[in-house]
Each structure stands twice: as structure tokens, then as C-alpha cells.
Structure 1
Amino acid sequence: MQIWRSLDDVPGDLGPTAVTIGNFDGVHRGHQAVLSQMVADARARGERAVAMTFDPHPKTVHDPEHPPVLITGLDDKLDFMAATGLDGTIVVPYTLDFAQQTPEEFVLAWLVEGLHATSVVVGQDTKFGRGNAGDVTTLRELGVRYGFDVHVIDDACALSESGRRWSSTWVRELLDDGKLVEAADVLGRPHRLRGTVVDGDKLGRTIGFPTANLEVSGGMIPRHGVYAGWLTVLRPGDGAGATQVADRLPTAISIGYNYTVGVEELRVEGFVIDSSGLDLYGAEVALDLAQWRRPMLDFGSLEALIAALDEDVAWCRGVLQLD
């Protein structure tokens, strides 16, 4: 999938396109169904399938004091969107000036002249243009004027097997509750945090549990506690992590505050199971969270903490089917 950061990046020989527009936060199973169907339909019509998304999220610009909690960082969002078969995605830098375009100005500049759209795929509740003045009716009228078809997404694509609508809101609820298995069902994959491994307080190595301390750059922080999951090195740092790129490493993960030793900063840490001498400092890594075990607790002493960590690792081994 090609990624464009402005209309100047769009190749002049792009050809006719089917374009869909959205924030796609989490790229959950509803998004995946819509994007995959759009790709298939575009192929059948001889078009290239293109998505338009925004960075930062529009709500961050319009209400900066109450920015949304995003499920997925931009890099991972683009990776998950690419997996649906899209030919290209344009990441629109969202600004107040951009938001001041009228519906017609937006359609003409971005969809018609910029992306050469011959079809536009939207949801029934789509709003666009200054003050959200444009809707599906507006888009159809502009389609007649500028020569593109409008396809409204069938709501059946957005419904789960339970009848509840797939949604980013649903995913956030589950993550807040520590229901990672259920969240993975809505997402179609485990929830992911991405970040860079940085120096921590190095306590873990002194008690037999050396951890990678993650400075999170993308992904919603879920309920605090201990998790089983997987660590994947996306980009190596200066150490031995270079030999582990793309390997999924079984990991016991803690998210929250280490009350036992009085650490007052939020920490996201991973103890890679059955791996010694692993140097991940400076590496960009992903943590895919499989299952929540327990909240963060004050065990009262290092001895009790070590015993609890032994139990946590044993539980993770079972969840990750290592034995």
C-alpha cells in the first residue's frame, strides 16, 4: 500500500479510484469488512482502492482540551489498513483551515482533482465540509455534477455476530475493563502498544526479572495490571535486539505503578520469557496483549513481589501455551 502525506505525493498516473473516508481508529472488524469489500468492488470495476484518513484526529483540533483516546497509533493503523488490500492511503494533515472548506470545495480539491475518484464509498451517517454541512445527499448531488458514483455502506458490514455494531467505543470499553480476549474479538487481533525501549530503574535485573521499559508512542493504555502477551522488535536499537527483528517473543507485561517499590510513574514493562542476555535498549517494539491476569498490587516486600512475579510468569506460560 502506498502512503501519501499530501496531494502532491499522489502519483499523476494513479488512474480511476474508489475512495473511502474515515478515522478508522483501531481498524476493527467493522472497518476491515468495509475496506475489504470496497477493495473487491474496486477491483471488479477496474479502479484502485484508496482510503483517506486524518492526522491528528479532528476532535483533537476542534476540542484540544479533550483529545480522544486513540486505540491505535498512526503507524499501526496504516499497517492494519494495508492488510485489507488497499492500494493507497492519504493521511490528511487535519487543521482548522482544512475544516473551513465547503463540502463542494473539499470534494473538488480532494476527491475529484486530487484522487481522481470515480466512486466514493461512505457510511449513511457521513458528514463533511465546513460545519459538517455535507451529508450523503450532498455527496450524491456533487457526484452527479463531477462524475463519480456514491456507494453507501450496507449496515450489515458493521454488525457483529451478537448484533452489536462493531465500534471503536466498544473496543475502548473492553480495554478499560481489562477484557483483552473480548477486545481481540472485536479488533480481529490482539490489542497493540508500540514504543521505544528506554532506561528504567533497572530493579528487575537485580531480582531476576529484567524488563524492557517501554516509552509508548501509540496504542491505548488499557486497564492497569499484569498481562500475557508478545513482544516484537519492529526496529532494532544498538544492542542484540537486531537479531530478534520480527520474532514474536513470549512476554509477561505489567502496566501501571509498582506500588511495592514506590515507583510513582506509570510504567509499561515487558519481561521476555525464556530469553537471557537480550539487549533491547533503543529498539522500537510492539507489545500485543493477549490476556489480563491481575491488578497492580503492593506486596509489602521484595520477597513477596518476587514470589508473585514467579506465579505471574507461570500463568503467562500457560496462557501463551509455552509448556
Structure 2
Amino acid sequence: MLTAAPLIPLDDVPARLRGAALAIGNFDGMHRGHHALFAASRNEADARGIPALMLTFEPHPRTVLRPGEPLFRLTPLDAKARLAGAFGLDGVVVAKFDTEFANVSAEEFVADVLVKRLGITAVVVGHDFQFGHDRLGSPAFLASAGERHGFTTTVVGAVTDAFGAPYSASRIRSLLEEGDIALANDELGYRWFVVGAVQHGDKRGRELGYPTANIRLAADCGLALGIYAVTLTRADGTVLPGVASYGRRPTFDNGAVILEAHVFDFAGDLYGETVAVTFHAFLRGEERFTSIDALIAQMDLDSLAARAILAAAGPGSDVDLRLAGSSDVAEGETIA
């Protein structure tokens, strides 16, 4: 079973994690473009016998700097912790991002955050990394500061797809908003998932012969409304196949958007349990049916389609295997 990396407030970093190799970024999506940073920080850590950490910011800086613009968060903190564990990182350091933090200069960020609070040995950033007030800090600035403060700087170049385009969280958001799960998952390098606690619903699914585990996602979730082939991973690592609706239930109340996952051939109790729902394929958009019988008939077809897709899906990428806690990935194998 995968062990998620611990989430560590910046002001409460334990002594055993000081002196780390540190990857820095917003890391929304933790997509293929970020994987090289995590691998580089892990490699630096292993070579030096030190921890490997990532530093991220919460809330996402854009929500503070541009509060009027909604942002579809691809990887909230709980998802980042799971992914960081899959990448072999020893922890996720979380810096509270507010207007005061936004006004910290690049030099202050280095001296206070990297040196004083974290005591880093090495830092890893992307080629386009910018930091500090007015984004005046750059990889070159960081490398120069490292020479003065005694840490090394690794700058990772752009990671591009087969067409030469850099991987992008914005593009992945657009794909998910369009329901293009297959391409979004390919760009992420793993199957996109959400994490949440199973809540009690109105039990309507049970009455239809399709009991569901109901999870309310963040209001900023921009996933296309519709029906998906999914797997649900329990806290103990058990993976259950199913079909899910993300939508407003237009046949009934057209209410608040909710994720309703029906697990195949399962009669247990999931209420209150925190689970991960992984999206394998988009089946169809949300529809309003003229009768309950028509809805059930379509649900039967959706279930058959989801079962077929999941049966043929295979284990996924190395990252998916790590997320599943699989022993099929060799110890020390590079995650790509």
C-alpha cells in the first residue's frame, strides 16, 4: 500500500528533514513536466544521503494574486501528498501563500525560507521558475544565491511532448473540462484522481439498483459533467472498479454538482471513509431521461461499457503502479 508523503508546514519542519534536496514549485497537476524535477531531487538526495522534499504553496498563488479568476485545482494537497509518496519524496513542505508572503523579496525568500527555515543542501527548479516579489527571482538568481549561501542549484530544462510543446497544467485543465480523460492522463503521466470522504446521499441510487459512494469535490473542480469509468481506492489500498456520475442529476433535482461512484459487485459500507477515485475514461455527457426505466437502461449500458474499459485498461504507468503500492515497479526505478 502506498504511503503518502507527510504534509509539513513551513514553520514546523523537523530537524531530521533539514538539509534536504528541495524541488520548488506550485506543482498543480504534478504532470510529466514536473517528474524530472522530482527525479532530480531524489537523485541529489540519494547521492548525498539527505532527504528529498518538495516545497509548494497553499493556497495556489494565483487565487491570492488574481482572486477574481476561478482556478480549477488539479492536485489539492491531499493528492499532492499521495503523488509525492509515489515519487519517493520524504515530505511536502507547505508554505502559506498570502499577500504578506507575496511581498517577500527574492533575496528574503532565499535567506529566510531556503536557508534559515529549511537549511537546504540542494535546490531543483524548472527553467522558467520565478519567485519573490514581482517575480524578480530567477534560476540564475537562485544559482548565484546558492554560491553565497552554500547550496547547489539544478535547473531542469523544458520537458516536451511528441510535438515539442511543454507539458502544461493549463492544457490539462482544458482537457478535463472537455472530458478528454485519455489525453489528460497521458499528459499527467498517470491517471487523474480525486480524494474525498464518502458522504450520505439521498439513497436514490440504491433504489435504482445502483448504490453510490457520494463525494463532494471542491467548488472549483472544472471536470466535464458526465459519466466515467473509474476505480475507487480504499484507505487499505484495495482497488474497486466502478462507474461514476459527476453532475447535477438532471432527471431528478438538477441540484448541486456531486460525484457519485457505483462500485461493481460491492456490498460493504464506505460511509465516512476517505477514498481516491481514479478516472479511466469518459463515457458520455450528462443527460435528462424521460422515465426512470430509460435511465436504468442507460445505466446498465454504462456499467457494461465501464466494465469492458476497466478490464482492458492494464496497470497503467509506473506512477500508477506506485500509487497502487505495487511491487511490480523495481526499487529505485525511475518514474517517467
Q: TM-score, normalised by structure 2?
A: 0.85
Distance 1:263 1:154, change over 3 A: closer
On the 8 A contact 1:250/1:273 being kept in 2, the answer is yes
CA-CA distance at 1:229 after TM superposition: 0.7
Structure 2's unaligned 5+ residue stretches are 313-336
1:267 paired with 2:258, answer yes
Alpha-carbon distance in structure 1 between the residues aligned to 2:146 and 2:206: 62
Partner of 1:222: 223
Which of 186-195 and 217-226 deviates more? 217-226
On the 8 A contact 2:55/2:95 being kept in 1, the answer is yes
Partner of 1:140: 143
Partner of 2:133: 130
Which of 253-262 and 311-320 deviates more? 253-262
Alpha-carbon distance in structure 1 between the residues aligned to 2:247 and 2:30: 26
On the 8 A contact 2:54/2:93 being kept in 1, the answer is yes
1:19 paired with 2:22, answer yes
Partner of 1:279: 269
On the 8 A contact 1:73/1:219 being kept in 2, the answer is no
For residues 182-261 of structure 1, the aligned pairs below 5 Å read 182-217=183-218, 220-234=221-235, 245-261=236-252
1:76 paired with 2:79, answer yes
Alpha-carbon distance in structure 2 between the residues aligned to 1:74 and 1:186: 20
Secondary structure of residue in 1 paired with 2:224: coil
Which of 306-315 and 82-91 deviates more? 82-91
Bigger RCO of structures 1 and 2 (CA < 8 A, at least 6 apart) = 2
CA-CA distance at 1:230 after TM superposition: 0.7
Alpha-carbon distance in structure 2 between the residues aligned to 1:228 and 1:134: 43
RMSD: 2.0
Task: For residues 118-169 of structure 1, give each alpha carbon's deviation from its aligned partner in whole angstroms, at most 9, with x where no partner exists.
Answer: 32222222221112122223223322322222221122xx112342211212
Task: For residues 90-112 of structure 1, give each alpha carbon's deviation from its aligned partner in whole angstroms, at most 9, with x where no partner exists.
Answer: 11111211122121111011111
Structure 1's unaligned 5+ residue stretches are 235-244
User: Which of 5, 9, 12 is the aligned partner of 1:5?
Assistant: 9
On the 8 A contact 1:193/1:220 being kept in 2, the answer is no
Partner of 1:110: 113
1:307 paired with 2:297, answer yes
On the 8 A contact 1:49/1:86 being kept in 2, the answer is yes
CA-CA distance at 1:201 after TM superposition: 2.1
CA-CA distance at 1:221 after TM superposition: 4.2
Alpha-carbon distance in structure 2 between the residues aligned to 1:136 and 1:216: 36
Length, aligned pairs only: 308
CA-CA distance at 1:41 after TM superposition: 2.9
Matched-pair identity in %: 38
1:36 paired with 2:42, answer no
Task: For residues 50-92 of structure 1, give each alpha carbon's deviation from its aligned partner in whole angstroms, at most 9, with x where no partner exists.
Answer: 2210111111112222242111121111210222122332111
Distance 1:261 1:12, change over 3 A: closer
